[in-house]
Amino acid sequence: MFKIEFDVKIHEDGIPYIDLPEDYENNAEDRLFVLDISRYLFEDILNKRRNILDDRTTFQMENAINLLRQLSEEVAKIIYEQMRNLGETEFILNNYYHIQVQTIEERDLLPLKDIQFTNKIFDRREGLKVFVTDEENVYILTNGIENENWKLIECHEDETN
């Protein structure tokens, strides 16, 4: 989970503002958060006050909402591609496991596409490895991607992801 730390400070003219720490690392996920929250707030205001807003203000707010939606979609595409690339890199590195779930049932419910684990995205494909924590076992997909194709890999306690 991402966390944005900030302070609310007061300008010399008495207006509050958001102050980010000096060591803040600007990342796409924070931008997506800000864009989506801004769009949500604009939509909420417009929905609740449309009846008292004049046509020009309503038009401007609708334009702002559309712009925020477009920007958000572009940032989301960038994040998605980054997560896919990280998943592909992880897969190529042939780590001890790629995804962690708690139960066999969770393993079997993994979708065919866009399996998100930490900040990575995987698809079901041969060679995908899943660590099932309840059993402390790792399973690999071999000879297909259906649930009957999960094969147990011997687990060694000294190996880590």
H/E stretch holding 72 reads helix 55-92
> Could you write out the three-class secondary structure of 104-127?
HHHHHCCCCCCEEECCEEECCCCC
Instruction: Supply the pTM of this predicted model.
Output: 0.77
Of the pLDDT bands very low, low, confident and very high (cuts 50, 70, 90), residue 155 is low
> Could you write out the three-class secondary structure of 20-53?
CCCCCCCCHHHHHHHHHHHHHHHHHHHHHHHHHC
Distances (CA, A) of 133 to 57, 100, 113, 121, 150: 54, 7, 22, 20, 15
How many C-beta neighbours within 10 Å does residue 27 have?
Answer: 13
- Integer Cα distance of 59 and 45 in angstroms: 13
Give residue-wise pLDDT tens across range 108-123: 999 999 999 999 999 9
Give residue-wise pLDDT tens across range 66-108: 999 999 999 999 999 999 999 999 999 988 999 999 999 999 9
Of the pLDDT bands very low, low, confident and very high (cuts 50, 70, 90), residue 158 is very low
Q: Is a pLDDT exceeding 80 seen at residue 7?
A: yes
